[in-house]
Structure 1
Amino acid sequence: MQLIANVVVALVAVLHVYIMVLEMFLWDKPAGMRAFRQTPESAAATKVLAENQGLYNGFLAVGLFWGLLSTTAGNEIKTFFLLCVFVAGAYGAITASRKILFIQSLPAALGLVFLFLS
């Protein structure tokens, strides 16, 4: 069960690296505008905010990778960062798009379930 938990945690971490790249580097490029349904005008107006948001997603990914690599407190670190991802996704679902609940919170919740079962 620990292996499954670690695979899910790694997938959530990789997802957040992808989100970070979209928000920090591709926000005003075709891939970023398509992913976040932005117009060139709205992407230009919100680029700095998206870069900041992307940085936070990068921190979430780093925390999850740290948990995967930690030999002493790995499960506690993974739990903390998965809870952060879950809360961020729930907040995003309430304030921005319900889709975020499925993209961000659901994978984090699955990771938490597998961690607690291991």
Structure 2
Amino acid sequence: MQMLLLILTTLIGCLHLFIMGLEMFGKVEAQAKAFDMPLDFVSQASAQTALGNQGIYNGLFGLMILATNFILPVSQAAQNSFMTLLMLFVLGVGLYGGFTATKKIFLMQCVPAAIALLLIFLV
């Protein structure tokens, strides 16, 4: 079960890096489609600045998840405790985004984070 948790949380970390890439470097058409926003809005300079800012958060958060899995030399209990906090953060942000931005966020962020939290508590 610990291996399944490692795989799932690694995928969540990689997802956040992918979202960062889309927010910071993606074409406006891809951004508009991915985030269910009008193309004319996403094309505005202020929207691009906001997406870039959000991208930094997602990228650093993805790196934090991956660092927790592979770099930080801590006990399994400490790693699970820290990962619980990270997954609660993903769940909270996903809930907010799902209610305010697009319902796809529930499936893309909330469901994997909830499964990871369940696995943490079962380990």
TM-score exceeds 0.5: yes
Aligned length: 117
CA distance in 2, matches of 1:80, 1:50: 25
Q: Which stretches of structure 1, 4 residues or more, deviate above 2 A after TM superposition?
A: 30-34, 36-41
Mapped partners of 2:84, 2:6: distance in 1: 11
Return closer, same or farther for 1:38/1:95 CA change in 2, 3 Å cut-off: closer
| Secondary structure of 1:20 counterpart | helix
Aligned with 1:113 (options 113, 118, 121): 118
* CA positional deviation for 1:57: 0.9
CA RMSD of aligned residues (A): 1.5
The yes-or-no answer on 1:78 pairing with 2:77 is: no
- Which residue of structure 2 aligns with residue 44 of structure 1? 43
Identity %: 33
Q: After superposition, what is the alpha-carbon deviation per residue over 1:19-48, rounded to whole angstroms, capped at 9, x for unaligned?
A: 1111111152x3333322444421122110
Give 1:62 deviation, angstroms. Answer: 1.3
Q: Deviations over 1:48-89 (max 9, x none)?
A: 001111111112211211210223132122111111111000
Question: What secondary structure sits across from 2:18 in the alignment?
Answer: helix
Give the structure 2 partner of residue 34 of structure 1.
33
Alignment of 1:1-118 (within 5 A): 1-28=1-28, 30-45=29-44, 46-69=47-70, 70-72=72-74, 73-118=78-123
CA contact (8 A) 1:82 1:111 kept: yes
- Distance change (3 Å), C-alpha of 1:5 and 1:107: same
Shift of 1:97: 1.6
Give the Cα–Cα distance (whole angstroms) in 1 for the partners of residues 91 and 42 of structure 2. Answer: 26
Q: TM-score, normalised by structure 1?
A: 0.89
Unmatched 5+ stretches in structure 2: none
**Are the structure 2 counterparts of residues 91 and 27 from structure 1 closer, same or farther at C-alpha, using a change threshold of 3 Å?**
farther
